[in-house]
Amino acid sequence: MGSFLIIFVPIAAFLINAFLQIGICRWTATGLIKSIMYGFSAGAVALVALHLLIVPAAVKGDLRDTVFYFIGNGAIYVAAGYLYFQVVNLGEASIRFRILRELRRYPNGASQVVIDERYNDQLILRTRLTRLTNNGQVRFENGVYRLQASTLLIASQFLTFMRRFLIGKSSEFDD
C-alpha cells in the first residue's frame, strides 16, 4: 500500500497543473501558452512538495529509493505535462483539426474549392506570421518582415537536423 502512494505524487501534480491551467485560461486575460507554463510550474512545485512529504516514508527512509523515485516521478510528470501541452496545441494550431472542423460543416461532403475558400495556405502562413509579429518574434518594417531573437528558432533548427538525420530531407516538401 505504501508503494502505491508513490504513484499518487505525479498524478496529483499533473491534476494541479491541468486544473490551474484551465482556471488561468478561463478566468484571467493570460494567454494560452503562459497559462500552460504557469500550470506546469505550479504542478512541478507540487510534485517536489508531495514527493518530500510522501515518498521517504513510503520507502522507509531509503535515500537511494527516494532519489530514484524522484527521477521516476519527475519523468512521469514531465511526460504528462508535455502530452497535455500537445493536446492543447492540437486544438489551437493543428491544420488537420482545422480542416476537419471545416468539413464538419458539410455532412454530405464539400469540394476542395469550397475548403480552399475557407482555409488555405495563405491563411495558414499569414495567421502564423501575425502571431509571430504580435509576440515580437518578427518585426514588420519598411515592407520587410525581419526575424528578431526567437526561441522558436532553436526548435526549428533541431527539427531540421533530426529530419535530415532520420529521413534525409530538410522539409517534407523537398523532393
Residues numbered 78-117 forming contacts with other proteins, rule: CB under 8 A: 79-80, 82-83, 86-88, 90-101, 103-104, 106-112, 115-116
Q: Of 10 and 43, which has the nearer Cβ to other proteins? A: 10
**For residue 140, what are the β-bridge partners?**
145
Q: Of 61 and 166, which has the nearer Cβ to other proteins? A: 166
Q: Which one of 60, 61, 143, 175 is in contact with other proteins (CB under 8 A)?
A: 143
Helix axes 63-93, 32-58, angle to 10 degrees: 160
- Give me 67's grid cell: 532519489
Cβ neighbors of 133 (< 8 A, separation 6 or more) are 139, 140, 145
Q: Which of 11, 30, 12, 9 is nearest to 21 (CA)?
A: 30
Q: Which one of 129, 134, 136, 175 is in contact with other proteins (CB under 8 A)?
A: 129
Q: Under the criterion CB under 8 A, does residue 57 sit at the interface with other proteins?
A: no
Q: Within 10 Å of residue 120's Cβ, how many Cβ atoms?
A: 11
* 94: three-class secondary structure by DSSP: coil
Q: Which one of 45, 49, 57, 147 is in contact with other proteins (CB under 8 A)?
A: 147
Residues 36 and 21: beta-carbon distance below 8 Å: yes
Total of residues contacting other proteins (CB under 8 A): 84
Q: Under the criterion CB under 8 A, does residue 155 sit at the interface with other proteins?
A: yes
Contact pattern for other proteins over residues 7 through 36, marking x by CB under 8 A: x--x----------xx--xx-----x--x-
Q: Under the criterion CB under 8 A, does residue 64 sit at the interface with other proteins?
A: yes
